[in-house]
Structure 1
Amino acid sequence: MDNSPTALFENYDEDFKSLLTSLKQKLDGGAIRDLSGEQRKSSLKKVEAELDEAEEIISQMEIELPSMPLSIRTPYQTRLASSKSDLNKVKKALKDLQRESQRSDLLGSSGGKRHPGQSDSPYSDEPGYDRDQRGRLLAGTETLNDGSRRLENAHRIALETEDVGADILRNLRGQREQIEHTRDTLTQADSGIDRASGTLKKMIWKMQQQRFLTAGIIAILVFLILLVLYSKIFG
């Protein structure tokens, strides 16, 4: 199995495209819009789960990108940017569908019984219009808009947190590479020390041999000098 950064990127990209196709079919096909109530909510939750999985795949692609050689990194950066753009479009489609679903639920819960003489327009000022109902509808719409803004802020914070996490992972990868490089350098230095130690031992042994040889020559010379002096004195 090829675990190189490019191979892993290709695998993640293939998984992402398959998941993106599934998301587009669910959001653009109209199947979810035809549902209502709990069935629609359940389908939207499944889409959110798949969207989270797609974001995780994008994060993995970002992690693998810095490990690629610079000579081939540019086209992969372009593909990653395109994948992010496609994912943002799907996120927008999901938000629109969620807003539509929330408005549909709100209108469905507040538009029940009709009073005699009430106008078909929900904002009509004709006599008999239920002003309390209109007020509840406007309040519900404002609450929905406020919730949407909060969701957008939460999503923005989540994206920022995701970017920070990706930066941390890239830094950790760089630190790991530095540690591995330092370990290799220490291993080479250790090998050099072993070789130098062996060389020093050989030099010390040769010095000891030369010392013994020199001492032997001196002893022989002293013996010869003494022998010459003895021959001259007693000869």
Structure 2
Amino acid sequence: MDTSPTALFDSYEQELLQFIDTIRTKLDSSNGENEQEQRKASLRRVEMELEEADEMVSQMEIEIQGIPQSVRAQYHARLRSAKAELSKYKKLLAESRAQLARADLLSSSKGAGAYSSSDEPYGPSSDRARLLDGTAILEQGSKRLMQSQTIALETENQGAEILMNLRTQREQIENSRNTLQRADLAIDRASGTLKKMVRRMYQQRAVTYSIIGVLVLLIVIIAWEKLSG
């Protein structure tokens, strides 16, 4: 199993490219369908694929933070390219939806004369269809907003964890520095004590030599007096 810092990014990128290929195929096939309901179903599937692709992009944005600075620029470029490709297919989906809505409007306007005397509160069926489409778009927008908020909260939590880790590391470094300072002070004190001990040893040695010298001198004097007497 690849455990390099870029492995997960590469994996998400491969999945994203597969999603984009699937989206391209489904958009092409939906444009060739004649029945409106089939086209709507195909476009709904494309929308679901785009949502999953957005999640892949979010994961790539998270993983890119752990890539080394020396190669992060090229991965940023790959991420921008993937986002641009995804944005293109979002625009194509919007255009396909608009074309489908116009086709619904034209088909409903052809039969509008048959409903001109109707007591139906919403008017022609195309109005209901547009209302349902508008409601669906609002629900989708709300869902995407909630997903964006979730991603923002996750990113905020990760940022808070990183700050906590950095703070902990700073405290550890400060504690280590204080420990080193205390060790330096202890070494200085021990060095001073050793110097005092050495100085006292030399002083005691000098006193001892002086006493020995005096004793030797006394012995010599006493022996000289005895011999001369």
TM class by smaller structure: 0.5 to 0.7
Deviations 1:48-95 (A, max 9, x none): 554333222111211233444555434332321221232234345556
> How many Å separate the matches in 1 of 2:193 and 2:34?
94
Shift of 1:33: 4.8
Residue pairs, 1:119-158, within 5 angstroms: 121-124=110-113, 129-132=116-119, 135-151=123-139, 153-154=141-142, 157-158=145-146
CA contact (8 A) 1:62 1:166 kept: no
Normalising by the residue count of structure 1, what TM-score does the alignment of the two structures yield? 0.60
Q: 1:104 to 1:147 in 2, by over 3 A?
A: farther
> How many Å separate the matches in 2 of 1:184 and 1:7?
31
Residue pairs, 1:161-200, within 5 angstroms: 161=149, 164-165=152-153, 167-168=155-156, 171-172=159-160, 174-175=162-163, 178-179=166-167, 182=170, 185=173, 189=177, 192=180, 196=184, 199-200=187-188
Structure 1 unaligned blocks of 5 or more: 112-119
CA contact (8 A) 2:112 2:124 kept: no
Match of 1:10 in 2: 10
Q: Which shows bigger deviation, 216-225 or 59-68? A: 216-225
Deviations 1:117-139 (A, max 9, x none): xxx93223x8x855346815254
Aligned AA (2:52): E
Residue pairs, 1:1-235, within 5 angstroms: 1-30=1-30, 33=33, 47-70=46-69, 72-94=71-93, 121-124=110-113, 129-132=116-119, 135-151=123-139, 153-154=141-142, 157-158=145-146, 160-161=148-149, 164-165=152-153, 167-168=155-156, 171-172=159-160, 174-175=162-163, 178-179=166-167, 182=170, 185=173, 189=177, 192=180, 196=184, 199-200=187-188, 203=191, 206-207=194-195, 209-210=197-198, 213-214=201-202, 216-217=204-205, 219-220=207-208, 223=211
> How many Å separate the matches in 2 of 1:83 and 1:184?
41
Structure having the higher Rg? 2
Secondary structure of 2:62 counterpart = helix
CA contact (8 A) 1:9 1:61 kept: yes
Q: CA RMSD in A?
A: 5.2
Deviations 1:144-165 (A, max 9, x none): 2531452364256246426634
Structure 2 unaligned blocks of 5 or more: none
